[in-house]
Chains A and B, each alone.
Chain A
Amino acid sequence: MEKSNKGVKLVGFWVSPFVQRVKWGMKLKGIEYDYIEEDIFNKSPLLSQLNPLTGKVPVLVHDGNPLPESAIILEYLDERWPHAPLLPLDPYERAQARFWARFVEEKILESTRLAALRSEGEIQEREVKLAIEHLEKMEEKLGGKSRFFFGDDTIGYVDLMMGFVAYILPVWEEITAVRILDAARFPNLAAWKNNFLNHPVIKDDLPSKDEMLTYFQWRRKVNLKKI
């Protein structure tokens, strides 16, 4: 059997939304690769060797060259495999995409993760409030006109960066009994979530909800004992 382009490896962890983005990116571009599952609580020498600076997943290895950081990996995939582009082609649109990707990462991911996994009481309330404020900006961005971000009918960079909102945030909301993404308050985001989860590349490649529930419940318990 012919093996195509196995010069690509992805080191990941099953539940990491950062790894998941890269998997989606690879699938959208039809890139074949070897996947190496890493237990991040019991890291192998391979991971320390590939990403000595932070020891985090994902790490892409292409022709022996390692590259960490999901956002940077996605841009790299776009440059190496330019078909089915993830980022817009116009420089101004690209700048916008990069801006919102960073906003998603630094504001939305931060606040939702803190609220769900690392806080309770007043601090949690504050983070939930912040998360809602930040999501309002994404709601506005969607404008209710297009299926995905940036007036597009195809999934792109910002959709992938936002992806965790579609499939992990509901799990987080369940374990903490907080409501962040209320469909009534965020109709555009609710529609986007639906479009996203029903996309052929996305829907067949998500971790099991039960396994995610168990995992994140455990993480929350561990993190709160530290507070």
Chain B
Amino acid sequence: MATSSVKLLGARQSPFVNRVVMALLMKSINYELVEMNPYLKPELLIKTNPVHKKIPVLLHGDRPICESLIIVQYIDEAWTNGPSILPTDPYDCAIARFWAAFFDDKIREAEGEDAKELVLEKIFEAFVLLEEAFINCSKGKAFFGGDSVGYLDIVVGSFVVYIRVAEMMNGIKILDETKTPRLVGWAERLYSDSSLKDVLMDPQLLLEQLKRFQAMMSEAASD
């Protein structure tokens, strides 16, 4: 198992792909990122994820694993050396799974909204509830996973850069010192002193990439 190749099909701009990148980093797993634009429906993606045709897909040897939460759990279970990603206590583990599923449901709901205000509202609601989750899961420590990063830090942490970009682009606060103070502290720690800080994207960089992408799209539209 340890000698099989590991490939990650995806794009670094995707927060879902970044969850997998973070998990691979936590376990010190060597892998190859195969850049994939899902909108172009590349053949390899259709072949490895015929049901959903989405990134990320992890290829371990020639076996595909799909869906970011499932991939992260797979990584935790297939590579037993290195830190545990999910909590070892069964109840804490179940609660972590619960919040991960909850967060992804909220993202899906937000994606389903057309009006920008409603999208931002859904995301803000999610973070207010996650503030509660943080209190329960961290038990007074630095991260959702306790003293060091864990499952929920990866699941939610991968989205922080997008939250920052949304805040910058809309002149609003989603991670707010008055409404979600602990999450504000957590986000800062994630970016400054966690084992993941080198893979977390820089919000300014992402903003520039998105602006360039938008410019490209409007140029293409006006041709």
Contact = CB atoms under 8 A, between A and B. Distances in A.
A91 B79 CA distance: 9
Nearest to B52: A103
Contacts of A80: 90
B65 A79 contact: no
A53 interface: yes
Contact of A67 (B65, B77, B95): B95
Contacts of A94: 73-74, 77
A138 B132 CA distance: 38
Nearest to B75: A91
A92 B66 CA distance: 11
Given A69-B101, A72-B101, A91 B93 contact: no
Contact of A75 (B66, B78, B97): B97
A65 B98 contact: no
A36 interface: no
B70 interface: yes
B125 to A, nearest CB: 11
A95 B128 CA distance: 31
Contacts of B71: 95
A64 B109 CA distance: 32
Interface string B125-143: 0000100000000000000
Interface in B71-85: 71, 73-74, 77-78
Interface string B141-156: 0000000000000000
B51 interface: yes
Interface of A: 53, 62, 65, 67-69, 71-73, 75-76, 79-80, 91-92, 94-95, 98-99, 102-103, 137
